[in-house]
Amino acid sequence: MEWIEQFNQAIALLETVLPGPVEISRLAQAAGCSAFHFQRLFAYLAGMPLSEYIRRRRMSLAAADLQAGARVLDVALRCGYASPTAFNRAFRQVHGIPPSQARLPGAPLRSYPPIRLQIAVQGGTVLEFRVEKREAFPILGLCFPLRSHIEENFRIVPQMWEQAAAEGTLARLAAQMDGAPQGLLGVSLCQDSQPWRYYIAVASSQPPGPWEAYTVPASTWAIFPGRGPASGIQQLERRIITEWLPTSGYEYADAPDLEVYQNPDPRNAQYEIWIPVAPKP
C-alpha cells in the first residue's frame, strides 16, 4: 500500500503551504500520479473533494490566527483572498459566523484537523473485473474541455450527455461505430502534459467528417462491468479505488479513462469502467 503513504506525504506537503496558494500539480507529483487521478483518489478516500478539504483546513488556520489577534484583512491576504468580501463568505461557510466575530472571546468555531488516509478492509460484496491488453484504436465524437477541479466536471459531464441525447447526437454517433469496444464511450483525457478534455465518442475508423478524431493509445485495462441507474457509476469507481486498487498489484497508468455504455439508458444502464493500469514495480 505504498501509494497510500505517498498520498499521506502529499497531504503533509499541503500543510507546509497552507493557508497560502496550493499547487495541485505539486501534491500529485508527491503522490506519484497525475493531478486528475490525485483529485479523484482523494475524493473517494477522504469522502470529500480536495477543494473542500483545502477550504476547511485554510479556514481552520484562519480562525486560529484571528483568535491570536491578527487583523481580518491580513488573514484574508495570507489565505490568498483578493478581497475581504470573498474571505468573509468562505469563512462563514465553514464556521457559520463572520471573521470579525471570531476574534471575540467565546466565539463558536469549528476545527478541521489534518487528515491521514488509510484503507479500511472491507468485503462481502463481489467486485467483478477482467484485465485486458489492447492495441491502440481510433475513436470519433464530440470533444469538450474539462475544468482543473474534478468536482466541477462531475456536474458538467452529465450535462454534456443530456444535451447530446436531446439533440440526437448519440444516435448519429452510434451509426459511425465499426470497432471495439462496442458502445458509446466516455473518454477522459486528463494527463498533466496537455489540457484536460472529454470525448463522447464511439470506436470508429471512419473519416472524421464533422466529428473530432482521437486514437486511444495501447494500454492494459482493468475492466469492471456494472448495470443499473447511471448514478451507480461513481459508487463503482469508489469501490474500484478503495477496495480493488490497493491490493491489486497494479497502479494507474498514463492513459485515458474509459466508460463504455452498452445501454446508455440512465435509469437502467449497462456499462463498463476501463481503468488504465500497469504492474507495480
pLDDT digits 0-9 by tens, 209-225: 999 999 999 999 999 99
- Which tens digits make up the pLDDT trace of 195-204? 899 999 999 9
| pLDDT for 118 beyond 80 | no
Strand pairing report for 212-216 and 269-279: unpaired
Mean per-residue pLDDT for 178-201? 92
Residue 199 phi, psi dihedral angles, 5° rounding: -110, 135
Q: What pLDDT score was predicted for residue 121?
A: 53
| pLDDT for 52 beyond 80 | yes
Q: What pLDDT score was predicted for residue 92?
A: 95
Q: What pLDDT score was predicted for residue 120?
A: 60
Whether residue 280 contacts residue 224, with contact meaning beta carbons closer than 8 Å, is answered with no
> Is the model more confident about 137 or about 37?
137
- The x, y and z cell numbers of residue 93, run together, are 461557510
Mean per-residue pLDDT for 121-136? 84
- Which tens digits make up the pLDDT trace of 61-101? 999 999 999 999 999 999 999 888 999 999 999 999 999 99
